Amino acid sequence: MVRKQLTFISGGVRSGKSAYAEMLVREAHSERRVYIASGVAHDREMAVRIARHRKDRAQDGWWTIEQPQQLSEALPLIRQNDAVLWDCVTTWLANELYEGFEHGSLCADTPGCMEKKWRELKKTIDSIRAKAVYFAIVSNEILDEPLMDLVYQEWLGKIHQWLASCADEAIEMENGLAIRRK
């Protein structure tokens, strides 16, 4: 499997991560720009925000895949030589880790559940990377802040470390500035 360019972009909330990733994907020589969005509209404010983002991306020539969970389901929709942006890991992780909340049976509390999702995520990222001419992954850097949920924090740290290690570039955004870490 030939792997193509992967860029991992992390940073704090409103640090310019998504805008920077969008710029990088626009610069990639591709037939199509694909935006994989992980957000879920749990309230009116988020629904309005998602609708605005969807409209803005469509006007800018993006093809959007709404995929809040099971990133692998987006694979058949990605074509050879697409430039792909996935935004974002932190939202996806929350969606996956707390799956089953409504029924009182969280994935986070089910032995082996998150490990299975983790294996699938790594395979999916490798598969997208093999198809796409360019792949940018965005994530929030929240590990500097104290979190109440240690399970979430541990998984996010593990995912970030893996992404940084296998990425061709690892960029940290701070105040709109891209700091190249790798």
Residue 36's CATH number? 3.40.50.300
Domain enclosing residue 83, as ranges: 5-180
Give the active site residue among 42, 53, 103, 160: 53
Res. 56 pLDDT band, cuts 50 70 90: confident
Report helix, strand or coil for 135.
Answer: strand
pLDDT in the model for residue 103: 77
Q: 16 labelled as ligand-binding?
A: yes
pLDDT average, residue stretch 17-37: 93
Q: 30 labelled as ligand-binding?
A: no
Tens digits of per-residue pLDDT, 118-171? 999 999 999 999 999 999 999 998 766 666 688 999 999 999 999 999 999 999
Res. 44 pLDDT band, cuts 50 70 90: confident
53 assigned to active site: yes
pLDDT in the model for residue 1: 54
Contact yes or no for 65/76 (Cβ under 8 A): no
Amino acid at site 27: E
CB neighbourhood size of 182 (10 A): 12
Contact yes or no for 89/137 (Cβ under 8 A): yes
Structurally, the chain folds into a number of domains equal to 1
Q: 38 labelled as ligand-binding?
A: yes
